[in-house]
Amino acid sequence: MTDTKDRVLIFDTTLRDGEQSPGATMSHAEKLEIAGLLDEMGVDIIEAGFPIASEGDFQAVSEIGKNAKNAVICGLARANLKDIDRCWEAVQHAKKPRIHTFIGTSPLHRAIPNLDQDQMADLIHQTVTHARNLCDNVQWSPMDATRTEEDYLKRVVEIAIKAGATTINIPDTVGYTAPVESADLIRMLIREVPGADEIIFATHCHNDLGMATANSLAAVEGGARQIECTINGLGERAGNTALEEVVMAMKVRGDIMPFETGIDTTKIMHISRRVAAVSGFAVQFNKAIVGKNAFAHESGIHQDGMLKNAETFEIMRPEDVGLSETSLVMGKHSGRAALRSKLKDLGFDLADNQLQDVFVRFKALADRKKEVYDEDLIALVSEQTADGQETLQLKSLEVRCGTEGPQRAKLTLIREGEEKSVEETGDGPIDALFNAIKAVYPHGGRLQLYQVHAVTGGTDAQGTVTVRLEEDGRIATGQASDTDTVVASAKAYINALNRLIVRRQSANPGADLKTVGYRDVG
């Protein structure tokens, strides 16, 4: 085994493929924040969005491109000139722009635009050539490549290379392939397609059969030198290859996978938590690398081994991924300087006005809790508003529940500067609460998700509540934390409703991806 390690590029598509996971839509400010964190942690290419999908997506891609310091900023475009031109408009001001254009090449996908093999080949040549005339960094993807006939796949890959593509991505769009096939497919293309040795091959795997990470690493073993992935494996259906998994796999098992990335792994935990918070998709407790239980040991045998030698049951250190041991040093006597220092240790560098807001809520929490954990502070920082636009605010809340009598919720909301009070009943206190909010602000939003989880242990633990609302195809997620889960539920619902109001007001008819066409390239 050689000591020389090949560089594998990390292409993150959290803001494009990840955001297409139903309910994971992020606000403009959240997209910019996540893009900044990705850039800081060393991601090589950030797929910032699908510019033609909406004006909002276009603006986000454009602004991310202007702000990026190191990463290549990539936009997605279907195989037509209008898409590609719009994509170039969005990324052209980036220090390092890339156009990523795609078309479905399998028999099933060729049937959608009703093109035969020759017609599609001509279209690929035309669109890749057009993209390359605009930008010298062009990526091309044959969507559903793993179910495309081998001879035809070789043919269209050669056409794309000759037309000027500098990266060829081979997507396992439906998570169908297995590791040995993933490696063999890349090897075959590199070996048999003219010009393949002059470009970079990428792999983009979905997790429908739970093999996305294995398939991506196998493709690298076969010769791919770019992995497309998302934070926490976020994505449509069962999700995408998880960035943290492939990066840490190559770092921990460098003995059999002599590859390296430019990722600062100590930033993994922080960005994982932020993506979970802004998307509303909580990380499962036993998720590899970033799950709450990833470094927890309960078995007596495991605990005994850990006490004697941590390496007995840990193949990597918690600090390798930016996980600091929970401490109890913060309390009601802690000042702003101590809070700022602690938050900085946790990965949050707040402006003075942001710190003041968190400090006020921290003091209120410290008065109610005996001990304030790191997770409590993260929950405080993670509470988000709808880009600062709040149509509704909670002023007061009183709930009556129990085994006798109807459950009631009495609340006062501030709606556009005016106080409105109402009392409603429901099938339980939360139902009554949500009915009361809807009485103050009638809307057609349908509750898709109501989820509660404890931030820490103990009866005084904060409960973090996630609420997801859907109205006319628009989805908004709200999240809030409080030691009173009913209060957290009210704040989370109002948070989601404020976001829904913003999206309703800024809606651009016809710009939804459902009307634009394909929503996914991998």
Kindly state the average pLDDT of the residues 214-236: 97
Confidence tier at 451 by pLDDT (50, 70, 90): confident
Query: Rounded to a whole number, what is the distance in angstroms from the first to the last CA of the chain?
Result: 33
Kindly state the average pLDDT of the residues 371-393: 69
Name the residue with higher pLDDT: 426 or 86.
Answer: 86
pLDDT at 333: 76
C-alpha torsion sign, points 269, 270, 272, 273 = positive
| Whether pLDDT at 377 is above 90 | no
C-beta neighbour count of 139 within 10 angstroms? 30
| Whether pLDDT at 218 is above 90 | yes
Please state the domain extents for the chain: 6-279, 293-321, 324-382, 392-505
CA 125 – CA 163 distance, rounded (Å): 6
Q: Per the structure block, which two tokens stand in for 443?
A: 């809307």
Residue 49's H or E segment, with its range, is strand 45-49
**Can you identify the CATH homologous superfamily of domain 6-279?**
Aldolase class I (3.20.20.70)
Read off the pTM.
Answer: 0.79
By the 8 A CB rule, do 366 and 332 touch?
Answer: yes
CA atoms in the 13 A half-sphere facing the CB of 184: 7
Instruction: Give tens-digit pLDDT for 302-352.
Output: 334 434 445 554 678 888 888 765 444 577 777 888 888 878 877 788 888
By the 8 A CB rule, do 265 and 276 touch?
Answer: no
Ranges assigned E (strand) in 271-417? 392-400, 407-415
Instruction: Give tens-digit pLDDT for 39-80.
Output: 999 999 999 999 999 898 999 999 999 999 999 999 999 999
pLDDT at 359: 86
Instruction: Give tens-digit pLDDT for 192-211.
Output: 999 999 999 999 999 999 99
SS3 at position 236: coil
**Residue among 177, 159, 189, 97 nearest 134 (CA):** 97
CA 276 – CA 292 distance, rounded (Å): 12
Query: Mean pLDDT score of the chain, rounded to an integer?
Result: 86
By the 8 A CB rule, do 514 and 473 touch?
Answer: yes
Instruction: Give tens-digit pLDDT for 139-183.
Output: 999 999 999 999 999 999 999 999 999 999 999 999 999 999 999
Confidence tier at 379 by pLDDT (50, 70, 90): confident
By the 8 A CB rule, do 457 and 450 touch?
Answer: no
C-alpha distances (whole Å) from 247 to each of 133, 206, 270 are 34, 16, 15
By the 8 A CB rule, do 7 and 260 touch?
Answer: yes
pLDDT at 518: 38
Question: Nearest-5° angle of CA 306, CA 309, CA 315?
Answer: 80
CA 487 – CA 490 distance, rounded (Å): 5
Determine the topology of domain 392-505 in CATH. Answer: Double Stranded RNA Binding Domain (3.30.160)
Q: Per the structure block, which two tokens stand in for 446?
A: 């349908």
CA 415 – CA 440 distance, rounded (Å): 8
β 72-78/97-104 pair status: parallel
Confidence tier at 506 by pLDDT (50, 70, 90): low
CA 436 – CA 424 distance, rounded (Å): 5
| Whether pLDDT at 363 is above 70 | yes
pLDDT at 324: 67
| Whether pLDDT at 409 is above 80 | yes
Hey, which of 260-264, 383-387, 454-458, 467-471 has the most confident mean pLDDT? Answer: 260-264
Share of the chain above pLDDT 90, in %: 54
Instruction: Give tens-digit pLDDT for 208-217.
Output: 999 999 999 9
CA 503 – CA 507 distance, rounded (Å): 6
Kindly state the average pLDDT of the residues 257-285: 91
Kindly state the average pLDDT of the residues 106-132: 96
CA 403 – CA 420 distance, rounded (Å): 29
